[in-house]
Structure 1
Amino acid sequence: MEGKGTTSSTFSTTITTVRSHLIIRRLPDYLLMIGAFVFLTLAVLCEMFIPLYTGKLIDILRVEQHWDDFRSAVILMAVFSIGSSFSAGCRGGLFMCAIGSFICRVKLQLFGSLVRQEIGFFERTKTGDITSRLSTDTTLMARAVALNVNVLLRTLIKTLGMLYLMFSLSWKLTLLMLMETPLTGLLQNIYDTHYQRLSKEVQDSVASSNDAAGEAVSGIRTVKSFNSEPSELHRYNNRLMDTHNLKTRRGTVRAVYLLVRRVMNVAMLHYGRLFIQHGQMTTGSLVSFILYQSNLGRNIRTLIYIFGDMLNCVGAAGKVFEYLDRKPEVSTDGTLQPEKLEGHVCFQELTFSYPTRTDHNVLEDFTLELKPGQTTALVGISGGGKSTCVSLLQRFYQPHHGQILLDGQPLQNYQHKYLHSKVVAVGQEPVLFSGTVRENIAYGLPDCSLERVQDAARKANAHEFICELNKGYNTDVGERGNLLGSSQKQRIAIARALIRQPQVILLDEITSFLDAESEQMVQKALANCSNHTLLVIAHRLKTIERADQIIVIDQGKVLEQGTHQELMEKKGHYYKLKEKLFADDSTHAQDKTRN
């Protein structure tokens, strides 16, 4: 019992939360909703009076010389019919406009909430789940808000109105009908259960018959070899008879159900005739009552269906609002925005593991200093923690222990936008978005001038090749930049970083897949970054040799640090790594010298 109570309480809380969310997010559409509810009420009222005046017409036709009353009743029926149709159309249109606006707003808010989440959230959550929330679940939620609420309110108002009119026609007959309703509901439930079960058995039996015929036909050589035609015929006949018997049982159940329903209807008509004989009802009133009764049954079934459907939609809405309300684990509440930034970075005793592998520390008690204006190169075997340093500096993750200081202040103290303008990264495979070269360089800076874009392109050694393109800075780069070469994409990515006037630049293996000529162009671009604090991860010896300090990392710890010359003289880890990792570079250089 306690478990049931807890489940009920949780479900009630979920409905309350979803309802409050829907109300808050629907406020901008309140005028459309008010108009829709007004037309909904008018449509229901007009529709309810049509059966009433149908009965009045029958009573008028039974009496001679009442043409004025007849004409008035016909005019009123026409007015109610036209009013019902017009109001229903306006109601549906306003509801659709409101729900269209609501869906766009919720999708935009959901997408905004998603892009604010930390990187770990996307690593833990499947892409299919995210896109499902963004498309399918928002649509289901809209269905709960618009279609179901529309039908629910219309049916509820109509049901209450019809009950009132039925009481006004004959309260005795209405009470009899209300006493019959639970029996009808029970009968409907029993019928649905048995009919669905028998329908499934019929489908299975038909499939079994088809299997028997299929086996005999596909194995006809074996059947003929063993003279089994009579036995196969007998087997197929048995399957057909099973199907026939099941269909007969299903038809019998339906016939009994319809017979009981008809008996109930006849009983109601019998009582109506008695009331007419005793002068308690007119013939027209009985006709109106029967019309209301048939509509009432449909309305009750609709209410039951809509309630169940709304429960399903509440689940979808709960999933959407779960993402909408989620707070990123990596805080972006910092406010620090100093006018001048030196670019002095300190990793202080960091311990970190990825959200998907919490049992394995990528960095452990890791300490590192990046001095302003200097280039620091991280080297080591794959999986040692080099790229993790870049990710932590961009605040994609929050370290479990320790902290990263930028000019003596923890990274989380800096304002989010300011931090990402002063600490920028260029990756191994830069992501360009469909659009022009100018739009990609000025990505995230909507008011950026062309002069500023060109200045950044010159610093990135990209201006010349951009000017040679068909439309210059207005040239479309294609989806993910596929209309440009690797070197061109890298230099545009460097320009995109430099346009923000950063103080710390993170370069993660940006020359790994470039040929010698392309690498040389990128190296020239990097030469323009001499006043910045550079953190470089590279597998090319040229890039590493030029660094002011080289840090050797393995299993999340610093093994050695110093200049290229100092580390070579030590003949320690770096010396061994040079022979192992940079052998291809040396071979390539020797081949080039021979040629």
Structure 2
Amino acid sequence: MHVVGVFILAVCVDVIICVVDHRFAYIKCDQAISYTNVLREWVASGIRWLILQGVITFARNGSSRVLQRWVTSHCLLGPIFFTGHIVMLGSFELEKSCVWLLNLLAAATACLFWEMSWPDKSYQSNGEKRRQTARALFKRVILLYRPDYILLFGAFVFLSLAVLCEMFIPFYTGQVIDILKSQYQWNDFLTAILFMGFFSLGSSFSAGCRGGLFMCAINSFTCRVRVKLFRSLVSQEIGFYETTKTGDLSCRLSTDTNLMARAVALNVNVLLRTFIKTLGMLSLMVSLSWKLTVLMLMETPITGLLQNIYDTFYQKLVQEVQNSIARANDAAEEAVSGIRTVRGFRTEKSESRRYDDRLMDTHNLKTKRDTVRAVYLLVRRLTEVGMKVAMLYYGRLIIQSGEMSTGNLVSFILYQSDLADNIRTLIYIFGDMLNSVSAAGKVIEYLDRKPEVSTEGTLQPDVLKGHVQFQNLTFSYPTRPDQKVLKDFSLELKPGQMTALVGSSGGGKTTCVGLLERFYQAQEGEILLDGQPLQNYQHKYLHMKVAMVGQEPVLFSGSVKDNITYGLGECSLQRVQEAARKANAHGFISQLEKGYDTDVGERGGLLSGGQKQRIAIARALIREPQVLILDEVTSCLDTESEQMVQKALASCPNQTLLVVAHRLKTIERADQIVVIDNGTVIEKGTHKELMERQGSYYRLSERLFTDS
């Protein structure tokens, strides 16, 4: 049960005990019976303490140190106050309900203040750890702002000028009121008005320059961090994207980078401006009336206590809202990216409901967050009103005593209004900075994350034969670490030969392709290319020499030529056309409206599956790779295109070719056929040899292979 709920329950129980005991009555004690009442008061308080301790222990299913402190303080304050009154004054004449209420508020306030200022060690260690983390993140954000230091320095200069000008406006306002109230002097009045206008103009001009420079710094920071974050994300291994939602990544790129920018530029702006104004106004207020200044400062601990309680709940809700927005973005991304599947299975309504549920979760969390903020603002405004009433009352008494003028009181009130806001801002800004820095935590985590599949190799030989060896590989996917996809897997791919991987679905064929492409890193064993481990090769060099065409080709928005030359930079049209001819793509590309400059649409949506497949094959062939991987690429091709591709591949006699296919016509030409099942090699040989054995390959050919 929550601490607040248990506190309310304990208060209700205490009210019932006191009503039963008839202790809310008006009591008048004289000297004769006072000491008997003192004893009775202590005994009754002890009984209340035992009952309330039992209530909080039972309701919390254990002890709560905050509530225990409150119960002890609440039960002891009454008899202590009663005893002191009797001993010092000899009588007691006060309504006990008022005493009970004052005890309740005093004990609760003291315990909360104690808990916020000196928390228990069990909580203190966690709090200190969070503060250390926040400080480290804040330093990282400041370092990321390094290219914008000139803009920030200029903004801080104008910030100081704006603050200095703002501080003198209330002072001259009071001077004008005193001049108008006394015997009117035109020269004094004109001087005060001129100074007011000068400081107002200077404040406005400096504030505008300050805001403009800060906004420039924020925009520059946001763009730079987004580019760095995107560069870091696209450098991660494939397994990272299998365990991380797309909506989460898009939320970090869009929302959290903006919060990071606020952490320094806006929050430090407000912090410095408020701190400088607070010091200046305090000195001016003390010169006007030190008594009213002391009274006004009594509001500070109350405001700090309220802000600490508010930050505890609000920051947690803000983080939950960010996570909920990421989940909603993920649901929308999945539905939009798979719109054909959604339309094909008529699940538009269910996807809309799923997205609506995610949005409702976000809405409910935002409502809860805003409710907490509304309650906090209400209590804070009530505190402000109470302080203003007290200040006006004592201000009237000071004016009547002749210690200050009416104009000085007006200046003091104007300063007090600004100072109260500044103190609340100083307290609030630390919580908001913590919130902003916490949003930066995930971004910096992604910025610092090193890919589990290393891309730091340096080997770039001038001649590469393409001899590939899989040596005793054991591999599990990051999403299924307990399920071994490959088990002590060994295989050799020789230059100038075509190797075909066959087997039932889930046997490990595509996994071999992913490991050869360095999408993943095997837990045991290694893959050698010309006798060197794959991780020793330079990343760009390796993927120029080892090219793959997947069973689901991915094209990017842009022209046909851009997709064929993807990652190569500038290539001649003649070279692009030659690769397209080898993939039997030149014919349909020439018939397009703009030929090779035709836009393929988002993800190649303006082309058919077979057309996308041929462009993907051309994208691989234009690189002239030494090792070529074809993963089910002929499934979308017609017979003519397949023959053209086979002819193009046959024209490269020294190339190492690895094919994953289900078509018998494609496989039977292979120099080596490898049958994989449950992550191990169970048969290998030529088509003729394996058919003569009448083993797994023979049974598989009868069941799965079709000859169109």
Using the size of structure 2 for normalisation, the TM-score is: 0.70
2:575 is aligned to: 452
Residue from 691, 695, 705 that aligns with 1:568: 691
Is the contact made by 1:113 and 1:324 (CA closer than 8 Å) also made in structure 2? Answer: yes
Residue from 209, 224, 227 that aligns with 1:105: 224
Is the contact made by 1:487 and 1:518 (CA closer than 8 Å) also made in structure 2? Answer: no
Instruction: Tell me: CA distance 1:554–1:520, structure 2 relative to 1, closer, same or farther (3 Å).
Output: same
Residues 202-258 of structure 1, C-alpha deviations (whole Å, 9 max, x = no match):
xxxxxxxxxxxxxxxxxxxxxxxxxxxxxxxxxxxxxxxxxxxxxxxxxx9999868
2:393 is aligned to: 267
Q: Does 1:399 align with 2:522?
A: yes
Is the contact made by 1:436 and 1:476 (CA closer than 8 Å) also made in structure 2? Answer: yes
- The residue type equivalent to 2:445 in the other structure is E
Residues 37-89 of structure 1, C-alpha deviations (whole Å, 9 max, x = no match):
11111111111110011112122334436322221211111111111112212
2:102 is aligned to: none
Instruction: Tell me: CA distance 1:174–1:260, structure 2 relative to 1, closer, same or farther (3 Å).
Output: closer
- Give the Å deviation of 1:259: 7.2
Residues 550-583 of structure 1, C-alpha deviations (whole Å, 9 max, x = no match):
001101111111111111111111111110111x
- Give the Å deviation of 1:162: 0.9
Q: Does 1:3 align with 2:111?
A: no
Output the CA distance in 1 between the equivalents of 2:675 and 2:491. 11
1:24 is aligned to: 143
Q: Does 1:481 align with 2:572?
A: no
Residue from 169, 172, 189 that aligns with 1:70: 189
Residue from 387, 400, 418 that aligns with 2:541: 418
Residue from 498, 515, 521 that aligns with 1:375: 498
Supply the RMSD in Å over aligned alpha carbons.
2.6
Instruction: Tell me: CA distance 1:333–1:263, structure 2 relative to 1, closer, same or farther (3 Å).
Output: same
Give the aligned length: 524
Output the CA distance in 2 between the equivalents of 1:116 and 1:325. 11
- Give the Å deviation of 1:475: 1.3
1:221-240 pair list within 5 angstroms: none
Is the contact made by 1:374 and 1:532 (CA closer than 8 Å) also made in structure 2? Answer: yes
- Long gaps (5+) in structure 1: 194-251, 589-595
- Give the Å deviation of 1:518: 4.2
- Give the Å deviation of 1:9: 3.2
1:130 is aligned to: 249
- Give the Å deviation of 1:494: 1.5
> Which structure carries more relative contact order (alpha carbon 8 Å, separation 6+)?
1
Q: Which moved more, 1:537-546 or 1:291-300?
A: 291-300
- The residue type equivalent to 1:409 in the other structure is Q
Q: Which moved more, 1:88-97 or 1:330-339?
A: 88-97
Q: Does 1:14 align with 2:14?
A: no
SS of equivalent to 2:183: coil
- Give the Å deviation of 1:407: 0.1
Output the CA distance in 2 between the equivalents of 1:254 and 1:183. 9
- The residue type equivalent to 1:430 in the other structure is P
Q: Which moved more, 1:382-391 or 1:451-460?
A: 451-460
Residue from 619, 628, 652 that aligns with 1:496: 619
Instruction: Tell me: CA distance 1:262–1:493, structure 2 relative to 1, closer, same or farther (3 Å).
Output: closer
- The residue type equivalent to 1:354 in the other structure is Y
Q: Does 1:88 align with 2:207?
A: yes
- Give the Å deviation of 1:184: 7.0
Instruction: Tell me: CA distance 1:255–1:391, structure 2 relative to 1, closer, same or farther (3 Å).
Output: closer
- Give the Å deviation of 1:310: 2.0
Output the CA distance in 1 between the equivalents of 2:146 and 2:382. 51
1:548-559 pair list within 5 angstroms: 548-559=671-682
Residues 273-317 of structure 1, C-alpha deviations (whole Å, 9 max, x = no match):
156x14xx3332222111101111122222222222222222111
- The residue type equivalent to 2:395 in the other structure is L
- Long gaps (5+) in structure 2: 1-119, 313-377
1:290-305 pair list within 5 angstroms: 290-305=413-428
- The residue type equivalent to 1:164 in the other structure is S
1:342-381 pair list within 5 angstroms: 342-381=465-504
- Give the Å deviation of 1:12: 2.5
2:556 is aligned to: 433
Output the CA distance in 1 between the equivalents of 2:518 and 2:306. 63
Instruction: Tell me: CA distance 1:372–1:191, structure 2 relative to 1, closer, same or farther (3 Å).
Output: closer
SS of equivalent to 1:384: coil
Instruction: Tell me: CA distance 1:379–1:256, structure 2 relative to 1, closer, same or farther (3 Å).
Output: closer
Instruction: Tell me: CA distance 1:5–1:527, structure 2 relative to 1, closer, same or farther (3 Å).
Output: same
Q: Does 1:385 align with 2:508?
A: yes
- The residue type equivalent to 1:171 in the other structure is W
- The residue type equivalent to 1:269 in the other structure is G
Q: Which moved more, 1:451-460 or 1:29-38?
A: 451-460
- The residue type equivalent to 1:343 in the other structure is G
Output the CA distance in 2 between the equivalents of 1:480 and 1:330. 26
- The residue type equivalent to 1:73 in the other structure is A
Q: Does 1:535 align with 2:654?
A: no
- Give the Å deviation of 1:379: 0.3
Residues 390-419 of structure 1, C-alpha deviations (whole Å, 9 max, x = no match):
000011111111100000000000011111
Is the contact made by 1:56 and 1:284 (CA closer than 8 Å) also made in structure 2? Answer: yes
Output the CA distance in 2 between the equivalents of 1:427 and 1:437. 18
Output the CA distance in 2 between the equivalents of 1:128 and 1:191. 29
Output the CA distance in 2 between the equivalents of 1:190 and 1:555. 57
SS of equivalent to 2:633: coil
2:92 is aligned to: none
Using the size of structure 1 for normalisation, the TM-score is: 0.83
Q: Which moved more, 1:151-160 or 1:570-579?
A: 151-160
Is the contact made by 1:110 and 1:324 (CA closer than 8 Å) also made in structure 2? Answer: yes
Is the contact made by 1:187 and 1:257 (CA closer than 8 Å) also made in structure 2? Answer: no
- The residue type equivalent to 1:506 in the other structure is I
Output the CA distance in 1 between the equivalents of 2:311 and 2:578. 75
Q: Does 1:311 align with 2:430?
A: no
1:157 is aligned to: 276
Is the contact made by 2:474 and 2:523 (CA closer than 8 Å) also made in structure 1? Answer: yes
Residue from 568, 584, 607 that aligns with 1:461: 584
1:146 is aligned to: 265
Output the CA distance in 1 between the equivalents of 2:620 and 2:461. 20
Residues 471-499 of structure 1, C-alpha deviations (whole Å, 9 max, x = no match):
22211111111222333222211121122
- The residue type equivalent to 2:474 in the other structure is T
SS of equivalent to 2:489: strand
- The residue type equivalent to 1:121 in the other structure is F
Output the CA distance in 1 between the equivalents of 2:309 and 2:129. 31
SS of equivalent to 1:341: coil
- The residue type equivalent to 1:292 in the other structure is Y
Residues 133-184 of structure 1, C-alpha deviations (whole Å, 9 max, x = no match):
1112212222323333322222222112211221232334323332454467
Instruction: Tell me: CA distance 1:34–1:45, structure 2 relative to 1, closer, same or farther (3 Å).
Output: same
Is the contact made by 1:332 and 1:412 (CA closer than 8 Å) also made in structure 2? Answer: yes
2:160 is aligned to: 41
- Give the Å deviation of 1:329: 0.7
Instruction: Tell me: CA distance 1:440–1:58, structure 2 relative to 1, closer, same or farther (3 Å).
Output: same
Q: Which moved more, 1:253-262 or 1:351-360?
A: 253-262
Output the CA distance in 1 between the equivalents of 2:200 and 2:492. 81
Output the CA distance in 2 between the equivalents of 1:489 and 1:139. 38
Output the CA distance in 1 between the equivalents of 2:311 and 2:464. 74
